[in-house]
Structure 1
Amino acid sequence: MSKRVRKAIIPAAGLGTRFLPATKSQPKEMLPIVDKPTLQYIIEEAIQSGIEEILIVTGRSKKSIEDHFDRSVELELELEQKGKTEMLEMVQDISKMADIYYIRQKEPRGLGHAISCARSFIGNEPFAVLLGDDIVDSETPCLRQLMDAYEEYKTSILGVQKVAKEDTNKYGILDVKHIEGRVYKVRDMVEKPDIDKSPSNIAILGRYIIMPKIFDILENQAPGKGGEIQLTDALKTLATQEAIYAYDFKGKRYDVGDKLGFLQATVDFALKRDDLKDEFEEFLKKKGAELIDKDKSLALVK
């Protein structure tokens, strides 16, 4: 009988250089989309999918992550004294979200190395990986969709979507055989291929369920693209030893590790908020009208 997926790894050891200077002293995972850190969206997805234990792989200057998901007695006391019950409950709920553990990746040696740091935490179980650069807005949590596929196929499942051909050099790209519906069998994969050498436009997008055999492979994995231990390279080896499937998940995915993607997520999530959407929508309409007028003025000048 196959084991169910109970544990998840969230790698959060990156330096976040694309968001400097904001990330000089705070982790990129703590940058807020509206008023909630990006990492909290990821953890909420994991919990809503049925994950019981979470390991966050951190690096230097990441203490604020631990502080955020821990209790803040002073803040709770102040909110209680001021009668701010709703805020108090929100703050308390964060610290009760799940069993969260931490381990430090002592040197930035790539995603594959970050995953290998979690070996003792995972043991001999299938596990989930959620990357903090990808937020998925979906009716059924993205990871839950993969877990449902795992329960059907009992093997590693990669979360994928199709990307524009010109963007294939940004992702791990798959060579696949279509099986049924949204399911593919993985034949091969390559990390950030040259656009003209990409085997498809089906990209791995930040969600994985992986069998524990990957740890033996990662232990002997040579550095790949960028001189780092690449998870995609290890998965490529795993695919030669056991079946790996890909699931084309439903939902809108935001690359919040990119400034434009981060802004798009902020706008869309703000428009979903009952306390913000009316005024914010009005602001966007005015801004849109101003841009149209500006374009007309420029056209007249030309």
Structure 2
Amino acid sequence: MTTHQEDLYPTRLSEARERLERPHPAVWGSAEDGPFSQEELDAHEARGFTIIDEFISQEEVDRYSQELDRLASDPALESDERVVRERSTGDVRSIFAVQQLSELMDALSRDERLLDRARQIVGGDVYLHQTRINYMPGFKGTGFYWHSDFETWHAEDGMPIPRSVSCSIAMTDNYPFNGGLMVMPGSHKTYVSSVGETPADNHKASLQAQEVGVPTEADITYLAEKYGIDQFTGKAGSALWFDSNIMHGSGSNITPFPRSNIFMVFNSVENSLQDPYAAPAPRPEHIAHRDFAPLKSAV
């Protein structure tokens, strides 16, 4: 890692400050660089997210779902630090660095369907900043409060600017009522800093329930009134591509219908991590990878 010279996105401050209009684009490439058309790229730039139905086949959904079940029940991972559990039930909430635990997930992270789109959005070679599986079982799955991923990645991981994109692939049908992800279209253009210092080892608590680095209710209200709220719904196999700075969150799942997804974050190799901008030490490597070598296709 290298020490940063300038902080363009200050956060974890001693007092509140005005919201910032983002100076960087969401899309760095063009239609000539990959499978997205220019119209699709323009829409992504404007909204901050893109939904692709039937991104993977039902056969693939079945195969990956079996792998999710295997990983969640693997006794060898019982006390592994990559496994995050629900505070109240002890059930598996997330598993991080899944490409290290599964050949199937490793191949998926280097699938051309993902890599080509990721490179197109960030404008060049990418590496994996983070991977995880999110589990939200029926009746007892808890949600994620409103937040910007980039605010955390900047503050605690040292990501300089929001030149990264996330892909969430649905392993189950996403309904409006089973804790589906909510997004504020266009909110990626506004950067919201947070107030309060980052505690040491904050990740141990924040991955169960984020309390540091979240926007104020006033900021959430402002963004919701300005941009509105949309939701990622769709059949298993659909994919949500979304900007790292978009404001998003999810409610708890009190329905019988589980919701799970594979989540992969692609960061530009030109945006590799530095020292944390607002934390006493970087988060562990399984949460924020520091191998900045460009990803190569699995084929």
Q: Larger % of helix: which?
A: 1
> What TM-score comes out, normalization by structure 2 length?
0.29
> What TM-score comes out, normalization by structure 1 length?
0.29
> Which protein is bigger by CA-based radius of gyration?
1
